[in-house]
Structure 1
Amino acid sequence: MISLRDLTEADLPWMAEVERELFGASAWSRELITHDYRYGFARYRGLEVDGALAGYSVYGYDGDAFHLMNLAVLPEMRGRGLGRALLEDFLAEARVEGVGDAWLEVAVTNEAALGLYRAHGFEDVRVRRKYYQPEGVDALVMRVALRGYEPEH
């Protein structure tokens, strides 16, 4: 069974470990995650499969933009629609906030994520050169207009 919930501070060490495994040198540190979580701007969401965390997302609205800052699914759990569930949770929250657009950045090398985002109506806006450090990987800034949006399934 798949379920979504807000992450707790007790989940943050797990999240930091997954970050290191998935994103290597450009991963958010445990200190950064803890500080950001406590600050209160972002919403930290966890996705569970049969009661065990299998993915997470971090997003928020700063009064200017509704922004997906992070989305990750454990490698062994991919291909089950979990990334889609996390993204649709983000988009549903954006609608609750009443925003017209949602934004994200994604590594230009992450074909799976690019496909997911494009299937949900995200369009390319611009490239941020060497955004992901220390690797120096470019990021694609993407945006979706939420009014009239229908995801492809």
Structure 2
Amino acid sequence: MGQTIPVRFRLMTLDDVEWVGELERLAFPTPWPTDAFVNELTINKHARYVVAEVEGQVIAYCGMWLLVDEAHITNVAVHPHYRGRGIGERLMRQMMGLALLQGGEKMTLEVRPSNHSARRLYKKLGFMEHGIRRKYYTDNDEDAIIMWVNLREQEN
């Protein structure tokens, strides 16, 4: 693992949308358009987004929808130059804590079977595999593994 660097976590604002859009394009074969993030921040009352900054630059982000007591991770990405430094784990822990603070009891997400590093991270965070969504990813028809965690059981 790379060295620990000072990272600031904060709620995403409209000023971050362009940076987040760039991270989407770097991370995903079918990225969300930037206007989707504008809608998430301005219209979707269930959406919560957090960014990670290094020296004032957004280098990672994560989004979730909080529906009653369930948090659903919509997307998470770390800039390629900052991967392997624990930022994704710290970001996910931020989201888990935010979900708990706002009434979340459980958290779910989908992950590609081929994304071994993400699957390892989610298992480290207490997520367990609970099903498959067939042909979930439209870029290659890859299935998605559905993972869940009980947030109260993961509190330290």
Q: When the two structures are superposed, what TM-score results if normalisation uses the length of structure 1? A: 0.90
User: Do the aligned residues in 2 keep the contact of 1:120 with 1:150 (CA within 8 Å)?
Assistant: no
Contact 2:59 2:79 in 1 (8 A): yes
Deviations along 1:22-55, one digit per CA (max 9) or x if unpaired, are 102x211122222222213211111012222110
| Residue 14, structure 1, aligned to residue 9, structure 2 | no
Identity of paired residues, percent? 34
Give the unaligned 5+ runs of structure 1: none
The structure 1 segments of at least 4 consecutive aligned residues displaced by more than 3 Å after TM superposition are: none
Q: Distance in 2 between the 1:8 and 1:147 partners?
A: 28
**1:39 paired to 2:9:** no
Report the aligned-residue RMSD.
Answer: 1.6
Structure 2 counterpart of 1:109 = 114
Q: Is the 8 A contact 1:129 1:139 kept in 2?
A: yes
Residues 45-60 of structure 1 correspond to what in structure 2 (within 5 A)? 45-60=50-65
Q: Secondary structure at the match of 1:147?
A: helix
Which residues in structure 2 correspond to 1:36-115 (within 5 Å)?
36-40=40-44, 41-63=46-68, 65-115=70-120
Contact 1:121 1:150 survives alignment (8 Å): no
3-state DSSP of counterpart to 2:90: helix
Residue-pair matches, total: 150
